[in-house]
Every structure is written in C-alpha cells, then in structure tokens.
Amino acid sequence: MKKKTTRLSYGCLSFISFCVIIAAWCILTYGGFMNKIFMPSPTAVWNSLVGMAGDGSLWEHCWLSTKRVMIGWVWSAIAALPIGMLMARSKVFSAVIQPIIEFARYLPVVALVPLTILYLGIDENQKYVIIFLGTFFQLVLMVCDTVSSIEKNMLNAASTLGANKLQLYAEVIFPAALPGLMDDFRMTIGWAWTYLVVAEMVAASAGLGYIILKSQRFLATDVIFAGLIMIGLIGLVTDFILRILTKIIVPWHERLGD
C-alpha cells in the first residue's frame, strides 16, 4: 500500500512540474514578456505540430529519427558489451584497449562528421555511425565499471564449482551485471538522442534534427520547439520502455525509491 501511495505521489508531482513549466511558458508568451521570435506561444507550436501531422510529414520525421537513433545505439550496445566485459576481467586486454577508449571518448563527435562523410558518404550508414560514435566509447567504460563491481566471492564460488570461462561469463557475470547494464543502456540511449541533430546536420532530407536545423535558417522557432518537444516525448517513451523491460528481465532488482 505504501509503495502504491509513493508511486501515486511521484506521478502527481511529475504532472504538476510539467504543468508549472507550461504555465510559465503561457505567462511569458501570452503576457507579451517574450518576443515570439525567441519563444513562440504554445498555440503556435501546437499549430505547427498539427500542420505537420496533417500532411504526414511529422510521422515521417519521427520514424526516420527513431530508426537512426535505435540502429546506431544498438550497434553501440552490441559492440560495447563484450569489450567492456573483457576489460573488466582481463588486465592485459584492459591495458591495451582502455587508453584508446579513454582517448577517443574525449573527441567531439561534431569534429568527426567530415571524416564519416569522407569514409562512408552521405547515406544512412553515416548517420548510424555518428550516433554509434557518440555512445560507444562511454558505454564501454560504463559496462566495464558495472562488471567490475560484481562480488569476487561469487566468481570464486563459480570457479570452485568447475565453471569454465564461457560459463562464468554467460551464467554468472552477465546475469549478475544485468541490472546495472540495463541502467547503462538507459543512460546511453538518452545520449543517442542528443547526437541525433549532429547525425542529421549534413545531407539529410528528413528527420526531427533536420527540421530543427532547417527551421533555424528561417527563424521558424515554432517548428524548432515542435521538433524539440517530439524528441523529448519520444525519448521519454524509450526510457519508459526500458524501465518496463528492466522490471521484466530483472524483477529481483530493487532500486532506491522503487
């Protein structure tokens, strides 16, 4: 009963916080405190969303952007998981790979756009790679840290019982690290959305990042706000889905405040 009450209170507070933001937005715009060029009214943004939804372009932009983010992020997760696990378990492998990962994660992804175009052209693969580069190096280190936090007594017990290396990874390390890995995935998929605009800034003809950049040229801030709101909403949906998956996949895992 107490847990249900806490969740209800959390939901109410979240709803109130959104209402406060919208109320402040209405006061600033309808009250004439902000120039509409810098901050469009909720009505103007709503009309832009309705207009794009009516001609079907909004759904095309949302679908393409979601597809790009998910493919780039999935590539990142698939590559980062084994590398991060090996780094946590092998000092030799970590000594070889970690300095490269540490160096690469400080490189600004925007600066890598010209190289990705040179190597890959301007098709969809180039956009997937931009999102991959924005999340991969960070995720490797997060996976490594998560796996390193597993209790050594658990690994020693499995080894004593005769588990080989493959069994150790598949039946002990991965299940034990899975709750933390799900949190890592949630964090990095959020970062993937932040790199969407970078991925769509060159040679894109559709996508939420594309319409934001295109609208910037014409000071169409209502469309910019509409694009940002859609990115935020889709991001919230993906985060919610990952939360649900975490509860389904690792039901034994309890977080503070759950």
On the question of pLDDT at 74 being above 90, the answer is yes
On the question of pLDDT at 83 being above 90, the answer is yes
On the question of pLDDT at 134 being above 50, the answer is yes
Q: Which of 228, 86, 250, 111 is nearest to 182 (CA)?
A: 250
Residue 177 maps to a domain: yes
pLDDT at 185: 92
84 or 9: which leads in pLDDT: 84
Residue 8 token pair: 């209800």
Are 50 and 26 within one domain? no
CA-CA distance, 228 to 24, in Å (whole number)? 18
User: Considering Cα of 239, then 240, then 246, then 248, what sign does the dihedral take?
Assistant: negative
- In angstroms, what is the C-alpha Rg of the chain? 22
**Backbone dihedral angles phi then psi of residue 149, each to the nearest 5 degrees:** -85, -5
Are 105 and 225 within one domain? yes
pLDDT at 200: 86
Domain of 116, in residue numbers:
42-249
**Cβ atoms 89, 148 nearer than 8 A:** no
Are 179 and 159 within one domain? yes
Residue 257 maps to a domain: no
Are 203 and 106 within one domain? yes
Are 3 and 129 within one domain? no
Average pLDDT over residues 199-204: 79
Q: Is 182 helix (H, G, I), strand (E, B) or coil?
A: helix
Residue 109 maps to a domain: yes
CA-CA distance, 225 to 38, in Å (whole number)? 10
Residue 256 maps to a domain: no
Average pLDDT over residues 109-123: 87
CA-CA distance, 131 to 198, in Å (whole number)? 8
Domain count, the chain: 2
Predicted structure pTM score: 0.85
- CA distances for 156 relative to 89, 163, 165, 177, 250, angstroms: 13, 10, 12, 16, 23
CA-CA distance, 232 to 223, in Å (whole number)? 14
Which range, 3-12, 133-142, 155-164, is most confident? 133-142
On the question of pLDDT at 256 being above 50, the answer is no
Are 193 and 86 within one domain? yes
Are 108 and 14 within one domain? no
The string of pLDDT tens digits covering residues 220-255 is: 899 999 999 999 999 889 988 988 888 888 877 665
Are 28 and 48 within one domain? no
Q: Per this entry, what is the length of the chain?
A: 258
Give me the CATH number covering residue 197: 1.10.3720.10
Are 27 and 97 within one domain? no
Percent of the chain with pLDDT over 70: 93
Which range, 51-55, 70-74, 190-194, is most confident? 70-74
